[in-house]
Amino acid sequence: MKSLILTGFMGTGKSTLGKVLAERLQLPLVDLDTVVVQEQQMEISEIFATYGEETFREIEHDVLCRYAAQPDLIISPGGGAVLRAENRAVMKEHCSVISLLARPEIILERVNRDTTVRPVLENRKPGQSKLQRIEEVLTQRMPCYQEADLLLDTSDASVEELAEQVLVWLKQQAGEMTWV
Ligand code: S3P
């Protein structure tokens, strides 16, 4: 099977849904930020602070290209992996791309629940709230997330419901392919 890649802004539930799908489909889950941290022996926030965002995006691109080309994986990239057109093309070429969306207020609530340092949200203009920063970046990135094969709003659905929707969609895709 083509690998499934779950794109989406921070806090849209990529890791949570990824875990459930990996279990249901009996496939390995690859969290690309975790791969970056393991390979670089540095936290993502440290990479941003030491080398800057551009270097992080280069590392992210390299890791994405290596994993996206492999079949039978559930891949959870960082929320900014869609920024490069080249990354979006690699995902589309090799994977079924599912974008997870959520309302900004829900994203704020979810990112405030854990202690992960998120450089993109910390990088705010004076007086800009975290919610305003989320809205700003989300608006910039929305066209990239919308290039997916399937869009899922995770704001009000349980992870089990979302997993079910993905499984139904995958079956439809497989059915359609039989008739091609
Ligand atoms: C980023 C999202 C983070 C991480 C990095 C940059 C982004 O991943 O890759 O902090 O640009 O949106 P998550 O989406 O898993 O939080």
Where do the domains of the chain lie? 3-173
124 near 151, Cβ under 8 Å? no
Kindly report the backbone phi and psi dihedral angles of residue 33, in degrees, each rounded to the nearest multiple of 5, phi listed first: -65, -35
pLDDT the model gives residue 67? 98
Task: Look up the CATH superfamily of 3-173.
Answer: P-loop containing nucleotide triphosphate hydrolases (3.40.50.300)
pLDDT the model gives residue 174? 85
The count of other CB atoms within 10 Å of the CB of residue 61 is 16
Q: Encode pLDDT of 33-85 as tens digits.
A: 999 999 999 999 999 999 999 999 999 999 999 999 999 999 999 999 999 99
Q: Which two tokens stand for residue 6?
A: 């779950």
CA 117–ligand 1 middle distance (angstroms):
10
Q: Which two tokens stand for residue 38?
A: 């393991």
pLDDT the model gives residue 180? 45
Distance between CA atoms of residues 84 and 98, nearest Å: 17
- Atom 4 of ligand 1, residue of closest alpha carbon: 78
> Residues with Cβ within 6 A of ligand 1?
10, 33, 44, 78-80, 118-120
| Residue of 5, 33, 51, 112 with the most ligand 1 atoms within 8 Å of its CB, for mutation | 33
CA 80–ligand 1 middle distance (angstroms):
6
Distance between CA atoms of residues 75 and 19, nearest Å: 10
Determine if the pTM surpasses 0.85.
yes
List of the chain residues with pLDDT < 70: 177-180
CA 124–ligand 1 middle distance (angstroms):
15
Burial 145-165 (b: 16+ CB within 10 A, else e): bebbbbebebbebeeeebbee
